[in-house]
Amino acid sequence: MMRLRPRSLLIAALAGLLAGCAGKVPITTTIPDPLVEALPLTVGVVYESDFSQYTYTEKATGTDWSINLGDSTTRMFDRVLSKAFAKVVQLDAVPSEGQTEAGVDLVLKPSVDEYAFLTPEDSGVDFYSVSIRFQLQAFGPNGVPLDQWDINSYGRTRSKALSAKDSLGAATDLALRDAAATMALDFKQRPQIRALLPAGSGT
Amino acid sequence: MRKLRVVVRRLGAGVVSFVTACMVAGCVTARLEESRQSTATSSIQAGEAVVLLTRHQSNARETERSFANCVVDDLGSGADALSTKSEQEFMDGLFPWFEPRVAPTTAEQLPKLLAQPGVAQRISDSGVRYVIWIDGETQTVDGGGTISCDLLGFGCVGFQWWQRDSSYEASIWDLKTGTAAGIISADVSGTSYMPAIVIPIPLIARTKAAACHGLAKQLKDFLVLAPSVE
């Protein structure tokens, strides 16, 4: 039977305390269904592992911040795309040139270009703020690049309302919601995507 | 061009009201102004609700959640209670049209928003007739004095004071007509004192609470009692 010495217990307790102090930021984003008219297109979406497992880490103000965005961003894109387009299918990769993905009008590949945050100590104002820049690449079903654009989003929360981790998490949630709002209305505005719409679709 | 008539009413019966109440808690000066903008505004009807939304666009300021909650609580209570919808529920149901980056900034943009597919129907289903945009915040603008404690075991000695300004504006939009109905503003300033003889005794001027209650009362008067302006 294993016997624990007081010294081992002390080390275990300290390790537990240190783990508790690490800045693992909780992300609990819930994106509502966008109230937009779906474009009559079938979209293939490619989530590469850099995107679907994206985690931002930074050592700032004495804390090792760790912000796991991958799950939330993937869910956010799923939610928006499912309402912005008539049909969405997930693809493993963008079709290479010469190959054609049957039954797909458009292929989208999102990536997180930049994540940044400011604490009240950084900015001198009473807010935690977060900015995220996504990049969206659009391809034809044959892998030919069609379009590429950035979505810049922003969120912030008052620092007094929650703990530092929760404040940063809430600001990140708002930034993701902001990105979703922008994206939901963006597709209809892109000329290269509009050019794919069937004639007389009325959108 | 739509004719815009502005009626400024005094809280109670005149043009502008200055209410000064120096109570035990501290000295508070409140000023409320109402401006009626629409000729088509009518009282809120049974089955119609209001929703209070806060602006998030400004970089340096943002209305406190506690203030918005206070106004909503006041609107929804009392004999003349209004039916209120939750901000989150309303914004979720109409996502993304009332998000900070997308929401209309002026009532003139309302017709374009209401023309978007599904938006007018969703608003109608929610029962919301009026959107009330709240903007403003409470700031400490001045202060001074010092208090020293633990002086040879005799507790605290000294005097501190600070002045707070609570300045808020409520813009009322009528979603039924797609027009601005009016604007109500509340500016409350007050000085809090804290003399300390052995123990500190705070005499707090509750400017934010005064602004909340004043604004909510005026909103109720505006939406329930206001006659049509022709």
What's the mean pLDDT in B18-36?
A: 70
Predicted local distance difference test score (pLDDT) of residue B116 = 95
Decide: B104 and B111 in contact? Cβ < 8 Å: no
Q: Which residue of B has its CA nearest to A180?
A: B96
- pLDDT at B225 exceeding the cut of 60: no
- What is the pLDDT at residue B183? 95
Task: Please give the residue that has the higher pLDDT: either B230 or B96.
Answer: B96
The structure's pTM equals: 0.82
CA distance B122 to B112: 15
Q: Is the pLDDT of residue B228 over 70?
A: no
Reported confidence tier of residue B198, pLDDT bands at 50, 70, 90? confident
Per-residue pLDDT tens over the stretch B3-14: 334 333 433 333
Q: So what's the pLDDT on residue A123? A: 83
DSSP B6-30: -EEE-SSSSSSEEEEEEETTEEEEE
Nearest Cβ partner of B60 from A125, A158, A161? A125
Give contacts of B119 with chain A, Cβ < 8 Å.
Answer: 35
B23-27 — which CB contacts under 8 Å span 24+ positions? Answer: B24/B203, B25/B203, B25/B204, B25/B205, B25/B206, B26/B190, B26/B191, B26/B192, B26/B193, B26/B203, B26/B204, B26/B205, B26/B206, B27/B190, B27/B191, B27/B205
Q: Hey, are the CB atoms on A36 and B117 less than 8 Å from each other?
A: yes
Query: What pLDDT, in 10s, does the model give residues B55-83?
Result: 876 556 788 889 999 999 999 999 989 99
Q: What is the pLDDT of residues B119-156, one digit of tens each?
A: 999 999 999 999 999 999 999 999 999 998 876 777 88
- pLDDT for residue B15: 34
Q: Is some CB atom of chain B closer than 8 A to the CB atom of A184?
A: yes
pLDDT digits (tens, 9 = 90+) for B169-181: 999 999 999 999 9
Q: Name the residue of chain B whose CA is nearest to A157's CA.
A: B62
Structure ipTM: 0.84
Question: Is the distance from CB of A67 to CB of A82 less than 8 angstroms?
Answer: no
Quote the crossing angle between the two packed helices A164-186 and A70-84, to the nearest 10°.
30
ω into A95 cis (within 30 of 0): no
Euclidean distance between CA atoms B90 and B119, whole angstroms: 12
- Of the residues A35, A129, A156, the best mutation for testing chain B's interface (the one with the most B CB atoms within 10 Å of its CB) is A35
Q: Among residues B161, B198, B171, which one has the least CA distance to residue B26?
A: B161
Residue A30: closest C-alpha in chain B = B92
Q: Do B182 and B170 touch, CB atoms closer than 8 A? A: no
Q: Which of A37, A156, A184 sits opposite B96 (nearest CB)?
A: A184
CB contact under 8 A, B62 and A158: yes
Considering only A32-46, A55-69, A133-147, B163-177, which range has the smallest mean pLDDT?
A55-69
Asked if A83 reaches chain B (Cβ–Cβ under 8 Å), the answer is no
Work out the pLDDT band at B23, boundaries 50, 70, 90. Answer: very low
- Tokens encoding B201: 């005794």
Query: B59 CB contacts (<8 Å, ≥6 apart)?
Result: none
Looking at the predicted structure, is the pLDDT value of residue A116 above 80? yes
Mean pLDDT, all residues of chain B: 85
* pLDDT at A24 (0 to 100): 84
Q: Check whether B224 has a pLDDT greater than 60.
A: yes
Quick check: B226 pLDDT over 80? Answer: no
**Nearest residue on chain A to B96, alpha-carbon basis:** A181
By the 8 A CB rule, do A107 and A143 touch?
yes
- pLDDT tens digits for range A139-177: 999 999 999 999 999 999 887 667 888 999 999 999 999
Of the candidate ranges A128-137, B33-42, B181-190, B192-201, the one whose mean pLDDT is the lowest:
B33-42
Two tokens at B119?
């938006």
More confident residue, A64 or A43: A43
Q: Return the SS3 of A135.
A: strand
pLDDT at residue B38, rounded to an integer? 66
Q: What percent of chain B has pLDDT over 70?
A: 81
